[in-house]
Structures are given as structure tokens and as C-alpha cells.
Amino acid sequence: MTNPRILLIVISTISIFLFASVAPAAERPNIVWIVGENFSNDLACYGQENVATPHLDSLANSGIRYNNAFSTSPVCAPSRSCFMLGMYQTTTDTHHMRSHRDDEFKLPPGIRPLTHRLKDAGYYTANVTHLGDAIVGTGKLDLNFVNEGKLYDTDQWDQLKTHQPFFAQINLPEAEYDIYDRKSAEKDRVPWVGEEWHPQIATEANVSPPPYYPDHPIVRQEWARYLNSVSGADVRVGNLLARLKADGLDDDTVVIFFADNGRLTARGIHWPFDQGLRVPLIVRDCKNFPILTNDEKPGAVSDRVVSLLDLTATTMWIAGIERPAGMQSRVFLGEDSDPPRSYAFAARDRIDETVVRMRSVHDNRFHYIRNYTPGAGFETLNRYKEKCFLVKPLMRKLKAEGKLTGAALALMQPFPDEMLFDTRSDPHEINNLASSDRPEHRAALLRLRAALDTWMVETGDRGHIPEPAEVVAPFVQEMHQWFGTPNWAEQP
């Protein structure tokens, strides 16, 4: 384990170098981040069935699409804290969900939000919620730091045309706002921009949920609802792209589309399995400020391993800002790109009241997961998961009745200490290869084990340092208040 004192020295040393130099003011491209909420690479252009994503597919055809992009956390606030800072959340003490919201926590000296660096370089910054009078984004921050000052200049799209160059972030409501909350009478739905609710492409009858779930109407309904939220996100993206063109901004604007973490499904979000971490990533160049190389020509598909951590340095590079020497983020685009990553690392720590610590490392084929919390597993209670996903109480009920078999039954067992999956041959991550005697599996296990150990030391992973009991207590109280509902676990 890393000594906390050494950790402070590491962070202090890093901070000395985290002052980026800014290029002189000049004409530079506008930059738009379109951030999906909780979905994996479940677009038609990635091969997903029962979705309609023509606008995102078109964006990919005119840009570059990444097959191996991963978030650094399977839940939003740690992931967003990471790509807003260009530093792993486990380095900056922003790794626990909903942490540092009401204390005096400050980021280590020299570690700064991306929007502050962009403002210093002359960029106007926006967290867009409206296109005129219509709602288009949530304005979500959900960062595990709140004492760093104002992060954006505006939330209005209409301000952008007269304030160029700009950086605009649009946080789509999908898929967060199509979850089923069985404590409420209705779903929390955000109005469309001149559209009906999500296109109903997926139905209970036509979907094929992942095989680690039982074949049951409730499972099919949840899976269809999730896929339809992906189709709904595409409609909203289409509105945004049309407005960009209508305002005459298209030729001057680089567009980056990604999701903050993986699927809004019971085995997706919160768990560092592949589909809790693998995310879509599409970058579209602009005509007047081209940034892509010949190898990154429109329509290209890249198998390069990319971490969402790398959005920070890459966005700075697009804006003409020199990356500070101590920043962990890397540039993944253009002639000045850094060498491709061999590995993408991720961490799951406390999520509200649920204290579970896990670590993960992907290469472009294998995925290794280490569980530091014996007894933790899919059945582990979490208020958010229990209120949103009917599949969890359903699977408990079926297990008690002896009706679960195969991968669904295996999912209900506690997680082992180590898991290794071949994501090419086993994309659903059902077959744990950690005990395999095959030479290629053994070699992958040893290699990824060593890579993870090295990363945890080099980045000063703070996950082993317990939080004070008084920090966790309010979340535990929330949990008990919610679980006080009679027969909560028997209400599928």
C-alpha cells in the first residue's frame, strides 16, 4: 500500500509542473463536447441492433470513430472529475461518488479545471442548457470539487456565435432520464426539442438482452427502454448539429461526442465490467481548422486504446494550449499525438452508501478486474440501483425460487478477487479466465496484473485510504430511509 505521506509528496511534486503555457491569441476552432449520459457503444455504427442513430452514424462517417475508448470510472462524478482535470480521480481525491460537495476541499495547487485553462487562452465557455427557449442539455456538473470558482461563462447557445472561439459542453439528458424509479408514480422525463419522446425502435418482443440476465418480460422491457433512450439521444444530437449548421458555425467547429461512463443497466453503471466502462467516442473535424491526419480521415475507425482522461489534453491541443508537464492526460489526435496507450485504467470506489473498491485495466483485447472488497457482487445493495432497475429484485426472486441458471445464476454470486476476460471472444464477459491454464491467458493475466500494480503506485492511487465515518453516514441514512419501504426486495 502507498504511504499517505509519500502520496502527498507525489501530488505536490506533480502540481509544480501543472501550469500550462498558452499559445498567443489567434484564430482557433470552436470546440463542442456532446456528452451522452450513461451509455456504452450501443449505436448502430458500432453494430447495435434495435436502435436508430442516423445522426451519430453520420457524425462518425464524417469523422473518426474509436472502438476502444474507456471511462476511468463506471459512474459519472468520478469520471467527469477526471476528464475535467486531466488527472485520474484516484490521484486528486475525487474518486468517491458525491464527495467533497459540502466541505472545504480544494484541488492540489496547479491542478485546474479545463474550462479555466481554455478561458485563459481566450475561449468563451458554455455548459449549454437551451437552444433558444427549448431545453437541450441538463447543465450537469456532478463534479467532486466545488470550490474552484465559476466554471462556465453561460448556459445559452445563442451567446456562442458572437463569442468565438468557444468551448461548449452539452450534457444530454439521455439515458439518465429514462430510468424507471419504482418509488415514483411516473418516470422523470425531460421535454424534447420539438419532438415526441424517444423513438420506440426496441420493443419487448424484438430485443435480445445480454445473456447474463434471465429471459423475462421485465428484463426485455428494461433493455428496450435503454436502447430507445440511445435512439432518443440521437434525435437530440441531430437537433444540435442542425443548429450548428444553421448558425453558420459548422465549418469552424470541432465536434467530440462521447458518453461519461457505460450503460445505464443493472450490470453496467457502477460496476467496472466492460460495458460499465466502454464508451462511444467520435471526433469530427472542421473545414476551416483541420486537425486530423491522413490516417484519421473522415470515416476512419480506430482500434487505438483511448481513456476519457485524454479528452483534456486533446481538447487543449485543439485549442493551441500546451499541455503542462505533470498532466496525466495524453493527446490522441493529430500529428502531435502521444504514443498510443497500451492500457486504459479505471477505478470503482464508494458510490454513495455502497463502499466497494475495485480496479480495472483494459488493453485492446483483454480486461482484468481486481476486487478489493470480499463478498461484494451484483446483489450488493445500493439505493440508486435498487430504485431504478427492476431486474435486481426480479433476479433475487428467481434465485430464491431456483429458477436462475447459467450466466444469470453466476452473476448472483460474490465477485472473485480477480477476473480476466477476452473481450473479443466474450464481449459479455461471462467466462472468467483468471484460472485458465492456457498460455495466452496466463500471459495476459500476469501482464495486466503488473500493469495495474504499476499504475496504482505511479499515480498515487488513494483508494486504500478510508473516508471518515461521518462522511459516509448521511448516505447510509438515505439508504435506510429508502429501504424502509415494506417488501422492497419482493416488488419486481
Do residues 155 and 188 touch, judged by C-beta distance below 8 A? Answer: no
| Alpha carbons 332 and 341: distance in angstroms, whole number | 9
Residue 193 has a pLDDT of 37
Q: Which residues touch 439 (CB under 8 Å, ≥6 apart)?
A: none
Residue 465 and residue 463: Cα distance in Å, rounded? 6
Q: Classify each residue of 268-299 as buried b or exposed e, where b means 16 or more C-beta atoms within 10 Å of its C-beta.
A: bbbbbbbbbbbbbbbbbbbeebebbeeebeee
Half-sphere exposure of 224 (CA within 13 A, CB side): 15
Calpha distance 100→87 (Å, rounded): 17
- List, in order, residues 6 or more apart from 310 with CB less than 8 Å away: 329, 330, 331, 332, 341
> Per residue in 30-39, is it b (16+ CB within 10 Å) or e — as a string?
bbbbbbbbbb
Q: What is the pLDDT of residue 387?
A: 86
**Grid-cell match 502521444, residue found:** 338
Distant-in-sequence, close-in-space partners of 372: CB < 8 Å, separation ≥ 6: 357, 358, 359, 463, 464
DSSP letter at 415 equals P
Q: pLDDT at position 2, please? A: 46
- Of the candidates 282, 265, 157, 185, the one whose C-alpha atom is nearest the C-alpha of residue 218 is 265
What local confidence, expressed as pLDDT, does residue 182 receive? 54
Alpha-helical (H) ranges within 121-252 are 217-246
pLDDT confidence of residue 375 = 96
Sequence length of the chain is 492
Residue 5's pLDDT is 44
The pair phi, psi for residue 23, each rounded to 5°, is: -65, 155
Q: Which domains does the chain have, with CATH numbers?
A: 30-490 (3.40.720.10)
pLDDT in the model for residue 150 = 97
- 334 to each of 35, 249, 408, how far by Cα in Å? 22, 22, 44
Residues 6-54 pLDDT 10s: 454 444 444 444 545 554 445 899 999 999 999 999 999 999 999 999 9
The angle, 0 to 180 degrees and rounded to 10, between the axes of the packed helices 76-85 and 311-318 is: 40
Q: Which amino acid is at 438?
A: R
- Quick one: 194 exposed, middle or buried, by C-beta within 10 A (0-12, 13-18, 19+)? exposed
pLDDT in tens, the chain (492 residues): 445 444 544 444 444 445 455 544 458 999 999 999 999 999 999 999 999 999 999 999 999 999 999 999 999 999 999 999 999 999 999 999 999 999 999 999 999 999 999 999 999 999 999 887 777 899 999 999 999 999 999 999 999 999 999 999 999 999 887 666 555 534 444 443 333 578 999 999 999 999 999 999 999 999 999 999 999 999 999 999 999 999 999 999 999 999 999 999 999 999 999 999 999 999 999 999 998 877 778 889 999 999 999 999 999 999 999 999 899 999 999 988 999 999 999 999 999 999 999 999 999 999 999 999 999 999 999 999 988 899 999 999 999 999 999 999 999 999 999 999 999 999 999 999 999 999 999 999 999 999 999 999 999 999 999 999 999 999 998 888 877 654 444 443
**420-426 long-range contacts, CB within 8 A, separation 24+:** 420/366, 420/367, 420/368, 420/369, 420/444, 420/445, 420/448, 421/274, 421/366, 421/367, 421/369, 422/365, 422/366, 423/274, 423/362, 423/365, 423/366, 423/367, 424/365
Residues 6+ apart with CB under 8 A from 101: 144, 146
Rounded to the nearest angstrom, the gap between the alpha carbon of residue 312 and the centroid of all alpha carbons in its chain is: 14
Phi, psi of 380 (to 5 degrees): -55, 135
In whole angstroms, give the CA distance from residue 313 to residue 84: 10
